[in-house]
Amino acid sequence: MPTQTQIDRLLADLGANADTFESEEITDLFTRAGEDYPAGSQAVIFAAARVYGARQLIAKLTPQLVKYKQGDSSEDPTPVLDGLKALLSLYEKALTATLGSTQTQVRFAGLRRKPTYEKEYPDS
């Protein structure tokens, strides 16, 4: 269950207000993030919730944005969608960075082989 501070931060990061997402939708964003990253810290869960929220915002706004031209007035939603996609890309990179900083890194390396020595046998 997200705190009110987390909800406020999520809405501010997405440029949304309380009318954009219902409280159940916001709770679901954090629930999905917790299910997808069960061993994640609060930072990972919040970063994942931001990504899911940006995707959901794009899905909600896409049908409403219509390109039209009538007389001297026109509206092109392409910059709006491009901005939302850039925001999504930014948050996906932030999620990757957050995951990278919280996960333990392991390096594997091979050991050098013991050098072989040629044995000399005396002539029999």
Q: What are 62-105's pLDDT values in tens digits? A: 887 777 778 778 777 788 888 889 999 999 999 888 887 765 55
Q: Residue 38 belongs to what domain range?
A: 4-66+78-102
Return the pLDDT at 89: 92
Residue 72 lies in a domain: no
Total tally of structural domains belonging to the chain? 1
Identify the pLDDT of residue 1: 76
Decide if 110 is inside a domain.
no
- 52 in Cβ contact with 26 (< 8 Å): no
83: in domain: yes
pLDDT at site 38: 83
- The model carries a pTM of 0.72
12-39 average pLDDT score: 88
In a domain, 107, yes or no: no
Q: Is the pLDDT of residue 21 over 70?
A: yes
